[in-house]
Structure 1
Amino acid sequence: MPKAKILIVEDERALVEVLAANLEREGFEVLTAHDGQDGLRQAQLKLPDLIVLDLMLPVKPGLEVCRELRNGARTREIPIVMVTAKAEETDELVGFAVGADDYVTKPYSVKILIERIKKELRRRQSKEEPTNGTLIESQGVAIDRHGHRALYQGEELPLTPTEFRLLEVLLRQAGRAFTRYELMDAAIGEDAVVLERTIDVHIKSLRKKLGDAADLIETVRGVGYRFHVPRLIET
């Protein structure tokens, strides 16, 4: 079985060496880049299984790299763990808004970061494994778990991995009101330290990509969100 390929995009070379050595010890193949432009190029050419992406990078900033990866047909589904020395709420929200799957602030424990990486890789593997009931559909919106595709009226939606998981959770139990914390657990992970507002950012982006179907994701005041279920009209 081939080794999972991890791309580290980080300008602190000493940190790269430590993280790369630990990842290789865990059995991963490691690629490295020390600026955003080279990181983007390597991601597009070598298609790693996961990217560890620093936010503050020379040449091309991490947010721009993340945005371009999410807009690329071949790279949009690669999990991205964003790493940064910044810890402001707005930085985390922006990171998730452009498509990061997880967010870790410096200084961090290498052991914890590697566990986050493994968790994201398990998520990706589980999405690729055939399962029963791989197609979920309601009102023109469909999730194809086997093919890992989300569609609206037959047109594929360019969702990030987190947006895909969110839509799947809502669609699978259409009509149920989920709290923001439940959605964070399901779509991001129960051990990820994120803000409650992070889900609002993902929902806003998901609604935008759904276009005419945006209203199918309803806000439940004081609770969270649900996928709309049409009411039966009694005669």
Structure 2
Amino acid sequence: MTTNARILVVDDEEDLCEILKFNLEIEGFEVDTANSAEEALKKDLSIYQLLMLDVMMGEISGFKMANLIRKDEAKAKIPIIFLTAKDAENDRLTGFNLGADDYISKPFSIREVIARVKAVIRRTAVKQSDVEPELLLFETLKIDLPKKKVTIDNEEITLTKKEFEILKLLLEHQGHVFSREEILSRVWSDEVYVLDRTIDVNITRLRKKIGKYGKNIVTRLGYGYCFEIA
């Protein structure tokens, strides 16, 4: 099973982080961990489809971290599940008032956690699919559609207009093989005569510019190109 959803688990109990990481990865999720809110906030949180935050942590609690995230427009819609040993009604209300998508009390069963994680991701994915996305993401590769900007590991990559449009097309339809004719009609639609070789040259340049993700742009001999998840 592959979900492609990426999760960040933030908890000051290292053993618990590793247990959650191990079991969630078995279910097909990509999982990163952090042992404090401070460590987590240094990461590019926009690449995650779910944050699992322990409430009781050091100087920055899970509630405080969530509050900071909800104030950042770029990250405000990332789903959050709170993990906590506390089970008081006021704590639950605080969590939900901060925009929590679920709240799991410790101790918990791994089966329960997995079921809730899947439910939140399924629910939030439906919500997000109702609107036109402004960002296209694959791991640390990010396309900001309104700004026409591509970044990898938060560093901007300079692309030509055609390279940008090719990458956007392939990333929007991961796994779909586009023939040269399809790419021509979508990217060079306003130009009368373009050689197939022009597409090959642009693809070669694009692969070099996006570094480690160049291998994800795969040639299907006799068919065309696709962005494939390795």
Shorter-chain TM range is: 0.5 to 0.7
Give me the CA root mean square deviation: 2.0
Deviation at 1:104, TM superposition (A): 0.7
Query: Separation in 1 of the partners of 2:133 and 2:44?
Result: 20
CA contact (8 A) 1:127 1:148 kept: no
What residue in structure 2 maps to residue 22 of structure 1? 23
SS in 1 for 2:77: coil
Matched length = 133
User: Is residue 62 of structure 2 the alignment partner of residue 77 of structure 1?
Assistant: no
What residue in structure 1 maps to residue 127 of structure 2? 127
Matches within 5 A, 1:191-210: none
Relative distance call for 1:20 and 1:73 in structure 2 (3 A) is: same
Q: What amino acid does structure 1 have at the position aligned with 2:103?
A: Y
Identity of aligned residues (%): 39
Residues 177-196 of structure 1, C-alpha deviations (whole Å, 9 max, x = no match): xxxxxxxxxxxxxxxxxxxx
Larger relative CO (CA 8 A, sep 6+): 1 or 2? Answer: 1
Residues 150-183 of structure 1, C-alpha deviations (whole Å, 9 max, x = no match): xxxxxxxxxxxxxxxxxxxxxxxxxxxxxxxxxx
Matches within 5 A, 1:52-63: 52-63=52-63
Deviation at 1:43, TM superposition (A): 4.9
CA contact (8 A) 1:79 1:100 kept: yes
Residues 107-131 of structure 1, C-alpha deviations (whole Å, 9 max, x = no match): 00111111111111111221233xx
What residue in structure 1 maps to residue 7 of structure 2? 6
Residues 53-78 of structure 1, C-alpha deviations (whole Å, 9 max, x = no match): 10001231111100011111111111
User: Highest CA radius of gyration, 1 or 2?
Assistant: 2
CA contact (8 A) 1:47 1:75 kept: no
Query: Separation in 1 of the partners of 2:99 and 2:44?
Result: 15
User: Is residue 131 of structure 2 the alignment partner of residue 146 of structure 1?
Assistant: yes
Q: Which runs of 5+ in 2 are unaligned?
A: 135-230
CA contact (8 A) 1:8 1:32 kept: yes
Query: Separation in 1 of the partners of 2:125 and 2:98?
Result: 23
CA contact (8 A) 2:38 2:60 kept: yes
Query: Separation in 1 of the partners of 2:5 and 2:75?
Result: 16
What residue in structure 2 maps to residue 31 of structure 1? 32
CA contact (8 A) 1:7 1:43 kept: no
Query: Separation in 1 of the partners of 2:120 and 2:42?
Result: 22
Q: What amino acid does structure 1 have at the position aligned with 2:29?
A: F
Q: What amino acid does structure 2 have at the position aligned with 1:14?
A: D
Deviation at 1:2, TM superposition (A): 7.2
Query: Separation in 2 of the partners of 1:148 and 1:126?
Result: 12
Moved over 4 A (4+): none
Deviation at 1:148, TM superposition (A): 8.1
Matches within 5 A, 1:78-93: 78-93=78-93
Q: Which runs of 5+ in 1 are unaligned?
A: 130-144, 150-235
**Deviating more after overlay: 4-13 vs 31-40:** 31-40
User: Is residue 101 of structure 2 the alignment partner of residue 98 of structure 1?
Assistant: no
CA contact (8 A) 2:56 2:84 kept: yes
Query: Separation in 2 of the partners of 1:66 and 1:52?
Result: 10
